[in-house]
């Protein structure tokens, strides 16, 4: 609830919206009209829904709220990347990132306030975990950013790679994906939605059954349990071997290959021996590897791997028939690292 007794209307699937409008004494078909206004036209008030009676609009405005996020700050990079800081109804804050490409636009959304996983290279982890985001708080990130960038720059791709571990907020993430991909709502292609996890095995198994139309990304970051436990403490619970077994059972194909995310950390996980181990781990799987240059932030425990060393790592993977790409860092002249804008703003107001 955004206000006492008020319903967050973007928490609802279309079926739930139909039940809600009927509970108010309105016709069932009004739900689809409301959805069109919310997700196609992205209105801010019920008064803008002109094909609904004034009395019905008044009733809706007394029972429900449309927007649950408040935009606090936007930073824009010289490369067009825009980083957003949003305030939630309870005063907590999260980030989203708009990333323009030549042929498409991507939005990176957050799923939790902070993160419980505690990866030692991640700035978000330093603040610990507060709570899960609601479905409305996830969906609203898309709505707010799309309004801001304008309809001529449609966001076609959504990646759940912002603050938090999406598979530890599975139900709300699943519902948000349903709203994003429903033809009467945001109408995104399931192939353009990617959910990233650090390796929550039960969540991967649920995704395989309940959300396998969207893409799966796994943040691996190491090729031995010894190194991964230092980088990702959760590895003590879900080892590399367990994660690989879950991925081999996952219904991936050439269209929806599993994305392996690998942050390159100088002298930690970037040796040629690591590259060969990674190739061996992934042999025979429908995967592609994203090698990610580390976004340094003040106080970080690690340093970025030099570019030439990343390229040598990449060549080893290609030599073993593993598709590997270097993800170019974006927004380097703004608060690029995940959690940096939130941390910076918090420090400014401390």
- pLDDT at residue 349, as a whole number: 45
Q: Token digits for 17?
A: 């919206």
- Residue 91 annotated as binding site: no
Sign of CA dihedral 215, 167, 122, 265: negative
The single residue of 8, 108, 137, 338 carrying the catalytic annotation is 338
Catalytic annotation present for 95: yes
- pLDDT at residue 2, as a whole number: 52
Tell the burial category of 113 from Cβ atoms under 10 Å away from its Cβ (0-12, 13-18, 19+): buried
Spell out the per-residue pLDDT of the chain, length 350, in tens: 455 579 999 999 999 999 999 999 999 999 999 999 999 999 999 999 999 999 999 999 999 999 999 999 999 999 999 999 999 999 999 999 999 998 999 999 999 999 999 899 988 777 789 999 999 999 999 999 999 999 899 999 999 999 999 999 999 999 999 999 999 999 999 999 999 999 999 999 999 999 999 999 999 999 999 999 999 999 999 999 999 999 999 998 888 899 999 999 999 999 999 999 999 999 999 999 999 999 888 888 999 999 999 999 999 999 999 999 998 776 666 655 555 555 555 544 44
CA distance 63 to 338: 35
In a 13 Å sphere around the CA of 212, the CA atoms on its Cβ side amount to 13
Widest CA span of the chain, in angstroms?
A: 69
- pLDDT at residue 347, as a whole number: 43
- Residue 220 annotated as binding site: yes
Catalytic annotation present for 338: yes
- Residue 269 annotated as binding site: no
CATH class of 70-348: alpha beta
- Residue 164 annotated as binding site: yes
Residue 18 is classified by DSSP as H
- Residue 108 annotated as binding site: no
CATH class of 7-65: mainly alpha
- pLDDT at residue 123, as a whole number: 84
Q: Are strands 324-326 and 287-293 parallel, antiparallel or unpaired?
A: parallel
The single residue of 95, 108, 137, 261 carrying the catalytic annotation is 95
What are the residue ranges spanned by the domains of the chain? 7-65, 70-348
- pLDDT at residue 77, as a whole number: 92
CA distance 72 to 61: 24
- Residue 114 annotated as binding site: no
């Amino acid at each position: 609830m955004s206000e006492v007794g008020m319903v967050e209307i973007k928490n609802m699937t279309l079926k739930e919206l139909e039940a809600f409008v009927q509970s108010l004494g309105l016709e069932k078909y009004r739900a689809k009209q409301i959805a069109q206004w919310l997700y196609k036209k992205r209105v801010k008030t019920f008064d803008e829904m002109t094909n609904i009676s004034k009395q019905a609009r008044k009733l809706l405005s007394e029972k429900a709220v449309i927007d649950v996020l408040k935009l606090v700050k936007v930073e824009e990079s010289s490369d067009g990347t825009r980083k957003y800081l949003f305030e939630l109804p309870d005063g907590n804050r999260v980030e989203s990132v708009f990333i323009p490409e030549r042929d498409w636009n991507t939005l990176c959304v957050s799923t939790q306030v902070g993160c419980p996983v505690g990866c030692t290279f991640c700035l978000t982890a330093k603040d610990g975990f507060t709570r899960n985001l609601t479905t409305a708080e996830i969906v609203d990130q898309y709505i707010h950013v799309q309004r801001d960038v304008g309809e001529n720059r449609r966001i076609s791709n959504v990646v759940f790679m912002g603050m938090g571990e999406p598979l530890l907020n599975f139900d709300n993430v699943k519902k948000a994906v349903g709203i994003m991909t429903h033809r009467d709502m945001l109408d995104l292609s399931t192939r353009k939605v990617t959910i990233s996890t650090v390796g929550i095995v039960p969540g991967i198994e649920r995704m395989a059954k309940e959300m396998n139309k969207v893409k799966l990304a796994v943040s691996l970051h190491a090729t031995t349990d010894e190194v991964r436990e230092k980088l990702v403490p959760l590895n003590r619970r879900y080892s590399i071997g367990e994660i690989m077994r879950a991925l081999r059972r996952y219904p991936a194909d050439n269209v929806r290959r599993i994305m392996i995310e690998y942050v390159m950390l100088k002298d930690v996980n970037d040796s040629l021996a690591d590259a060969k181990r990674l190739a061996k781990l992934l042999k025979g799987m429908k995967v592609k590897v994203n090698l990610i240059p580390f976004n340094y932030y003040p106080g970080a425990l690690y340093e970025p791997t030099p570019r030439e060393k990343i390229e040598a790592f990449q060549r080893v993977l290609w030599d073993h028939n593993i598709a590997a790409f270097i993800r170019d860092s974006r927004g380097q002249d703004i608060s690029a690292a995940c959690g940096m804008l939130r941390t910076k703003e918090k420090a400014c107001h401390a």
